[in-house]
Amino acid sequence: MFKHLLYIFIGGGLGSVLRYLISKTANNPENLIPYGTLTVNVVGSLLIGVVMGFALKNSSAYQPLILTVATGFCGGFTTFSAFSFENYVLLKNGDYLSFMIYFSLSLLLGIIAVVTGVFLVKNF
C-alpha cells in the first residue's frame, strides 16, 4: 500500500509542477480564455486516455505505471478545480462569450483527447 501511495505522490508532484509552469507561462489576463489551463486539461486527457487505453489493451498492465501516470501525474497535472474557478470568474465578470468558448472547448477537446488516446493505443 505504501508503495502505491509513493507512486501517486511522485506522479502528482511532477504533474503539479508542470501544470504550474505551463499555466504561469500561457495564462495571460489579456487573453480571451486561460490557454494554459485549457492546454493542461486537454494534454492530461490525452495522456490518461493513452495510459488507460494501454491498460485496457494489456490485461497485465503495469500497475505502478497506472498509479504514477494516470492517478498521480494526471491528477496533479489536470486542473478541474482551476477550470471551475476560472469559469466562475468569467461568469461573475459578465464575460459570457469567453465562458461559453472556454467551457465548451475544455469539455469537447478533453473528451476528444481521451477518445483519441484510447484509439491510438488500441489500434497501433
Number of domains composing the chain: 1
Quote the pLDDT of residue 104: 97
| Domain range for 82 | 2-123
| Sequence ranges of the binding site | 75, 78
Spatial distance between the Cα atoms of 50 and 41, rounded to a whole number of angstroms? 14
Quote the pLDDT of residue 55: 85
Neighbours of 98 (CB within 10 A): 19
| Sequence ranges of the binding site for Na(+) | 75, 78
Spatial distance between the Cα atoms of 2 and 96, rounded to a whole number of angstroms? 46
Spatial distance between the Cα atoms of 51 and 19, rounded to a whole number of angstroms? 19
Which residues have a Cβ under 8 Å from the Cβ of 58 and sit 6 or more positions away? Answer: none
pLDDT along the chain (124 residues), means of 10: 96 97 91 91 93 82 87 92 91 96 96 96 91
Quote the pLDDT of residue 80: 87
Q: Are 49 and 116 in contact (CB under 8 A)?
A: yes
CA atoms within 13 A on the CB side of 46: 10
Quote the pLDDT of residue 61: 66
What pTM value is reported for the model? 0.83
